[in-house]
Amino acid sequence: MGRGRTRTGKDGAMAPRPRELTPDRSARDLFGAELRRHRERAGMSLRRLSEVLNYSKSHLARIETAESLPYDDLPAKLDVCFGTDGLFARLHAVAKKEPFPGKYRRVIEIERQATTIEQYLSATAPGLLQTADYAARLMRAVQQHAPDAEIEAQVTARLARQARLWGSRPPRCWFILDESVLRRGFGGPEVMRHQLQVLVECAEQRHLTIQVLPFSAGEHPEVLGGSLTLYTLPDRLTLAYEEGSRSGAFFENREEVAERRASYDLLRALSLSPRDSEAMIRAAMEDWTPCEPPVI
């Protein structure tokens, strides 16, 4: 969902309109829309509401735009503040069943349907293969001010996605990891070593293939700094999804998908073989082994 046109703020600067919500499609959006509606009807700014509730303004803003959900007593506080007789408590009971923000919901749905998943990642381990500790540290790095309960809920949702890989009919998955994934630490040596060990164990499964794109392969501007995923559905239709640090986009047009297929195939050709990739991952594991203190 894009933003609307800009408007003039109190200081004369042009401020973006609040993100448009779709309360008829999502309980998360409905919660945010009702929060915004009652706040504006009361003539309160986000700053003023945060002062009244003794609650983070930035988190309130994320809740209004359906990017986050409250994970404490905020719904009850909102009902008291606006006199809504349990409305926000009831909305929260439904909205918390949607662990993913709206912008990721379609990605998750496509992922659930896909019979083949081919993914290139330039900076992090695949979400489908992440350990709980690695996922938590990664999410905390991206959302530094989010409540701990929100991070925990997101980690739980991410781990739940992985169950399909170990079901009776798992998708065929092919992961290409930039070498930086092995070198950039999230959570320190122990967390990284465990994550790399899990990658090695996953690569032993017949339906999972992992390759490493080494630094020596050079630059690849078409996907540098982001991720590219190709989803093949049961009807053999292939969709492409590109994601950067702040946004993501699906591509369904046959020519656009073909362009991204060509990019992925080039990355696969330039990557190390699965056997050599395993060797590089094991070598990186040794690099993440904590050094023993010298004996005095």
8-state DSSP, 20:
P
Residue-level pLDDT at 125: 96
Nearest to 270 by CA among 209, 216, 228: 216
The overall average pLDDT reported for the chain is: 85
| pLDDT greater at residue 159 or residue 245 | 159
Would you state the pLDDT for residue 76? 93
Calculate the dihedral angle through the C-alpha atoms of 62, 64, 69, 75, rounding to the nearest 10 degrees: 130
157, pLDDT greater than 90:
no
pLDDT at 222: 58
Give 180 or 92, the one with higher predicted confidence.
Answer: 180
How far is Cα 110 from Cα 101, in angstroms, rounded to an integer? 15
More confident residue, 58 or 280: 280
pLDDT in tens, 265-274: 999 999 999 9
Q: How far apart are CA 241 and CA 251, in angstroms?
A: 6
| Residue-range domain boundaries for the chain | 19-95, 102-287
Whether the predicted pLDDT of 68 surpasses 80: no
Fold of the domain built from segment(s) 102-287:
Endonuclease; Chain A (3.30.870)
pLDDT band at 207 (very low <50, low <70, confident <90, very high): very high
Pick from 107, 67, 74: nearest CA to 242: 107
Closest CA to 188 of 287, 121, 283, 122: 287
Rounded Cα gap, residues 25 and 18, in angstroms: 18
Whether residue 158 is predicted with pLDDT greater than 80 in this model: the reply is yes
| pLDDT tens digit sequence for 33-45 | 999 999 999 999 9
pLDDT of residue 14: 42
Instruction: Return d(Cα 60, Cα 67) in angstroms, integer.
Output: 10
pLDDT digits (tens, 9 = 90+) for 277-295: 999 999 999 999 866 555 5
- The two three-digit tokens of residue 217, written as one number: 């392969």
Q: Which residue has the tokens 């959302």?
A: 143
Task: Output the pLDDT for position 99.
Answer: 58
Which pLDDT score is estimated for 186? 86
Half-sphere exposure of 24 (CA within 13 A, CB side): 0
* pLDDT in the model for residue 267: 94
pLDDT at 6: 39
For the cut 70, the answer to whether the pLDDT of residue 199 exceeds it is yes
Q: Which CATH superfamily is domain 19-95 in?
A: lambda repressor-like DNA-binding domains (1.10.260.40)
- CA separation, residue 190 to residues 75, 130, 153, 195, 261 (Å): 38, 14, 23, 9, 36
| Rounded-to-10 torsion of CA 11, 15, 18, 20 | 150
Percent with pLDDT over 70 in the chain = 83
Question: Average of pLDDT values for 151-166?
Answer: 91
Residue 167 predicted with pLDDT over 70: yes
DSSP structure string for 147-212: -HHHHHHHHHHHHHHGGGGGSSSPPEEEEEEETHHHHS-SS-HHHHHHHHHHHHHHHTSTTEEEEE
pLDDT band, residue 62 (cuts 50/70/90): confident
Q: Does residue 217 surpass a pLDDT of 60?
A: yes
Q: What is the pLDDT averaged over residues 189-202? A: 96
Taking residues 74-96, report their average pLDDT: 90
User: Does residue 3 have a pLDDT over 50?
Assistant: no
pLDDT confidence bin for 135, thresholds 50/70/90? very high
